[in-house]
A and B are shown apart, each in its own frame.
Chain A
Amino acid sequence: MSIDLKLDKTGDAVTVSVTGDIDMSSSTKMRDALAPLFQNNNKVVVVDLSGVSYIDSSGIATLVEGLQWSHNSKNKFRLAALSPGVKDVFEIARLLTVFEVFETKEQALAP
């Protein structure tokens, strides 16, 4: 499985739009894309998950790692547009309260 990643920088925010299933084979690609974003001057990093209908535990772990990076770099890390399937996984893992989750990408980008 492969995912497509699109990076969009607006001011001091950057949005990573993910399309495809995030699993063991594709989560590394997402990790490689996210890692440098916390070293740059991005105040907000948004992951747009509207194009993701499946995420497994390795994908969740990558997002948790993103949250940890944001915590260390004092940036904001936000998730947007979770599909029902993905939201279920977050709920099962009790992670909806851990992440900042927004209904839309635009809401996530709002100051």
Chain B
Amino acid sequence: MSTHKDALPHSASRVTQLEQRVEQLETCYKITSLINSELNLANLLDTIMNVAKKVMNADACSLILVDEDTDELVFQIAISEVGEKLKTMTRLKMGEGIAGTVAQTGEPIIIEDAYQHPKFNPAFDKQSGFQTGSILCSPLKAKGKIIGVCQVIHGKKKGLVFQQSDQELFLLLCDSAALAIHNARMHLVLMENQRMEKDMEFAQSVQESFLPTSTPQHSNFTFAAQTHAAQVVGGDYYDFIPFDNELLGIVLGDVSGKGVPAALQMARLMSDFRYISQVDQEPAKVLAQVNNTLCERSYRGMFTTAVFCILDMKTKKLSVANGGHLSLLLKRNDSIQEIGSASGTPLGILPNMQYKQEEYVLQSGDQILVFTDGVTEPKNKQQEEFGTDRLKNLFSNNTASPEEFLQNLETSIKQFIGDAPQFDDLTSLTFNVL
């Protein structure tokens, strides 16, 4: 009997322990389900804190995350015994105070009486009127990295002290919380990327709307042009500007750099060319004027190469001025000549530059090709360039229409580079004389 009598309390205590353990595990399961269902970071942090406070039967708790830029710890949420959030947003250095030490060492800590601990900072108590007793503090680790610290606190009044068994449960909670925070952050990044992609798609359609929607129609000439940005938007541009008396302005250029800054510059440039060429259509004067305009609003050293031509579609006279751009190619009787080579610097670098103008009388059967370096410079995996010679060869053997030729050119470049990515914007414009 005595044994039984003696054994009964022991057995009852064991049962109680096991019941508590089962309860803890059930709680853990519920916590994991709860916090993993939340992808909004602010709501998630709130949920974690409320759950931690309730499950650990704590009077206060706080969650502190590492700011990777400064390697400091930033208080995200602090909940006192009355549930009031303290918007302290206080920063801690790594190793500073109890939370800073846990973040630095990556080891959890149980403190029986905070006021007896050398690293405890009573300033928060003074601010909140709360009196800290026992502290249980654990690192938040996600993918092997410490992303923050979570701590639960018993008030001094109650006299409760955190135990080892509390730490086991709290560590499980913190592991789930850290993973959920990591996932919520990833979700935020994905959402932001998606938004950016949508914005860029919109920017692409806006940029495409700047380019001519069709090529000029004329009984003496057939025109074709195409552009492909290396990124969603790019800095290559071309335009056909019709004037009176069957004069046609043709512009093609390449703004330094790629992506959005180049695209914004390209958009302004196209209107500059249209506006300035209304006053005087002489190509050399147009380039000089656009150059000065660009220099006036120069920003961060951005510049552009450009070819501006005036094609008299009645007399078939082509006038060309070239600001630092690649020469044009003229195909005549199956031979290729480089014409209209650069007579001045790229536009937008130094003001008051002079450009020369060359004039050519085109013949029936002639074909002109203007292009950006994105056509000749694509490299294959062996780091060989597509090159001017391949382009000239393709051009001299061409018998197809201008539009088909540009399609063939694009196909040839794609075949040449294989799986290598398109590095630069690629633009070409061609016309033949009927």
Contact = CB atoms under 8 A, between A and B. Distances in A.
B211 to A, nearest CB: 22
B301 A64 contact: yes
A61 interface: yes
Given A57-B257, A61-B256, A64-B349, 20 more contacts: A60-B256, A61-B302, A61-B303, A62-B300, A62-B301, A64-B301, A64-B302, A64-B303, A65-B301, A66-B301, A67-B301, A68-B349, A92-B373, A92-B377, A93-B256, A94-B324, A94-B345, A94-B346, A95-B324, A98-B324
Contacts of A93: 256, 305, 324, 346
Contacts of B342: 94
Interface of A: 57-58, 60-68, 71, 92-95, 97-98
B434 interface: no
B298 interface: yes
Given A57-B256, A64-B349, A68-B349, A94 B305 contact: yes
How many B residues are at the interface, by size bracket? Answer: 10 to 19
B189 interface: no
A69 to B, nearest CB: 10
Interface string B157-193: 0000000000000000000000000000000000000
B300 A95 contact: no
Nearest to A92: B373
B320 to A, nearest CB: 16
Contacts of A98: 324, 345-346, 349-350
B331 interface: no
Given A57-B256, A57-B258, A95 B346 contact: yes
A68 B345 CA distance: 14
Contacts of B257: 57-58, 61
Nearest to A28: B300
A60 B258 CA distance: 13
B302 A67 contact: no
Contacts of A71: 350
Nearest to A69: B301
A57 B346 CA distance: 14
Contact of B301 (A60, A92, A94): A60
A62 to B, nearest CB: 6
